[in-house]
Structure 1
Amino acid sequence: MVREDGKRNFALRESDGSEPSVFSGNTPRQAAKKAARRLSDVGDSEESAPRVEIRLREKGTDKVHIYEAWAWEETSPEDSPDWMPQQITKGNVSKKGIEHLEEV
């Protein structure tokens, strides 16, 4: 379902089928990058960050977007505002494919 502002909602699916979180974005990749930033296993650099598979179900459809996701911490830029923490978490994703849920 597309909202008035053009964004779509994507539910993060756990291996047991539960959907504890919802991320929004104009594209599935945008929502997946938001989800990647909240991974519990974070590396020291992009190269050393552990890769994790995440699955996002597009709300209102049977599509499940599958991504390889990773996150790492780095120092905030020198020109960052005062409210920004010294360490920020960045994330990235690589699409593996799309599955369609079977209605049981």
Structure 2
Amino acid sequence: MASTSDDPRNYALRDESGEETSVFTGQVPRQAALKVARRLDPADSEAQASREEFRLREKGTKKLHIYEGWAWRNEAPEDKPDWMAETITKANVSKEGIEHLDEL
């Protein structure tokens, strides 16, 4: 079966030592990066949020996507479902570049 661009891909979160600690799924690297950013410690507002750099390796490749991410708390929308909390975590990311690994 041929892979299409709609197929979700897996991205491994790498720490400083190169150890892959978690896997996030997304159709594009940014989608997975946003999931990582939402797990960061949220600030009270976007303006106060500190940026953290993290690296995601696309599984099956030697491509390392480098992102800067930040998260903040926000009020849930007025039309939120009953199960949703009053405060939610929002996140944003900025792509810093791509590196190619020599080995895995």
TM-score, normalized by length of structure 1? Answer: 0.91
Task: For residues 15-43 of structure 1, give each alpha carbon's deviation from its aligned partner in whole angstroms, at most 9, with x where no partner exists.
Answer: 1111111111110001000110011x221
1:45 is aligned to 45
Q: RMSD of aligned C-alpha atoms?
A: 1.7
Equivalent residue, structure 1, for 2:23? 22
> Is the 8 Å Cα contact of residues 57 and 65 (structure 2) preserved in structure 1?
yes
1:46: how far off?
1.1
TM-score by length of 2: 0.91
Q: How many residue pairs were aligned?
A: 102
Aligned to 1:33: 34
Runs of 4+ in 1 over 2 A off after TM superposition: 2-5
SS in 2 for 1:95: strand
**Structure 1 unmatched ranges of 5 or more:** none
Q: Report the Cα distance in structure 1 between the residues aligned to 2:43 and 2:5, rounded to whole angstroms.
A: 37
User: What amino acid maps onto 2:25 in structure 1?
Assistant: S
* Equivalent-residue separation in structure 2 for 1:15 and 1:86 (angstroms): 35
Give identity over the alignment, percent. Answer: 63
Measure, in 1, the Cα distance between the counterparts of 2:71 and 2:5: 31
Aligned residue type for 2:54: I
